[in-house]
């Protein structure tokens, strides 16, 4: 009887525990480690990030949003075509003047690709959303059983 009671108490309790504990999100607790870029590539990426998406008017830029480190994680999980685009893009000189010319549909320009990725990684970051500029909240679909 006692055992059954204890089991019932355990099953009924998670909500109570959750109220008493204040967990910290993994990305707030620790520092991510480089997984994809070399140190040289990453330094170059950070310079580009500062230049292309800077902080303006108190809104976080790519650096404040941790966008380069996020892209490192994303690319560590990406398909080979995407990984190659970044490797070869960062190996050469990134011509930023391309970004002052109109984007064309189907463009293969690495500079344009980098700009889009940096903006998305920045605007969808926790830091940008704290300032209410970010990608906001959406209806998340859980997996079917």
Partner 1 sequence: MPKTFSAVIVGSGASGGMAAWVLTRAGIDCCVLEAGPLVDFERQRELRPVYELPFRGFGTPGRFPHVTQASEFDENLWLDEKQNPYSHPANDPYFWVRIRMAGGKMNRWGRASWRLSDLEFKARDHDGFGENWPVEYATLAPYYSRVEPMFKVQGRNEGLPQLPDGVLLEDGSPDSPANARFIAAAAKRGIRITKPRRATGTLASSLNLLLPDAAATGKLTLVPNAIAREIAFDAKTGRVNGIHYLDRRSKRDFFIGAKAVVLGASTLETVRLLLNSASPRWPQGLGNASGTLGRYLFDQIYVKNVVQALVPEARASRQGRSQTGGAGYICRFRNVEKSEKLPFLRGYTYDFGSGGAVNPRYIPKYGEPLMREIADLGSASFSLTTMGEVLPRYENRASIHPTLKDDWGIPALHIEHRYTANERAMAKDSMEVASELCRDAGFEILEAHSQMVPPGESIHELGGCRMGADRKTSMLDQWQQSHEIPNLFAMDGSTFVTGGAQNPTLTILALAMRSSERLAERMKSGEL
# residues near partner 1 by CB under 8 A: 47
Helix (H, G, I), strand (E, B) or coil at 24: coil
Helix (H, G, I), strand (E, B) or coil at 67: helix
Q: According to the binding rule CB under 8 A, does residue 136 interact with partner 1? A: yes
- Binds partner 1 (CB under 8 A): choice among 3, 104, 108, 132: 104
Task: Single out the segment in contact with partner 1 by CB under 8 A; choices: 2-10, 11-19, 33-41, 129-137.
Answer: 129-137
Q: According to the binding rule CB under 8 A, does residue 30 interact with partner 1? A: no
Q: According to the binding rule CB under 8 A, does residue 142 interact with partner 1? A: yes
Task: Single out the segment in contact with partner 1 by CB under 8 A; choices: 14-22, 35-43, 84-92, 123-131.
Answer: 123-131
Shorter beta-carbon distance to partner 1: residue 87 or 112: 112
| 72-78 contacts at long range (C-beta below 8 A, 24 or more positions apart) | 72/32, 72/34, 72/35, 72/36, 72/37, 72/42, 73/32, 73/35, 73/36, 74/121, 75/36, 75/37, 76/35, 76/36
């Amino acid at each position: 009887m006692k055992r059954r009671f204890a089991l019932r108490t355990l099953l009924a309790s998670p909500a109570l525990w959750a109220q008493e504990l204040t967990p910290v999100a993994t990305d707030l607790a620790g520092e991510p480690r480089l997984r994809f870029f070399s140190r040289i590539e990453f330094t170059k990426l950070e310079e580009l990030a500062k230049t292309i998406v800077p902080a303006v008017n108190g809104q976080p830029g790519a650096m404040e949003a941790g966008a380069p480190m996020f892209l490192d994680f994303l690319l560590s999980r990406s398909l080979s075509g995407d990984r190659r685009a970044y490797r070869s893009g960062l190996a050469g000189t990134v011509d930023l003047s391309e970004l002052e010319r109109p984007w064309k549909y189907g463009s293969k320009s690495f500079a344009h690709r980098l700009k889009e990725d940096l903006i998305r990684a920045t605007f969808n970051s926790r830091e940008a959303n704290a300032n209410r500029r970010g990608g906001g909240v959406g209806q998340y679909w859980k997996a079917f059983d």
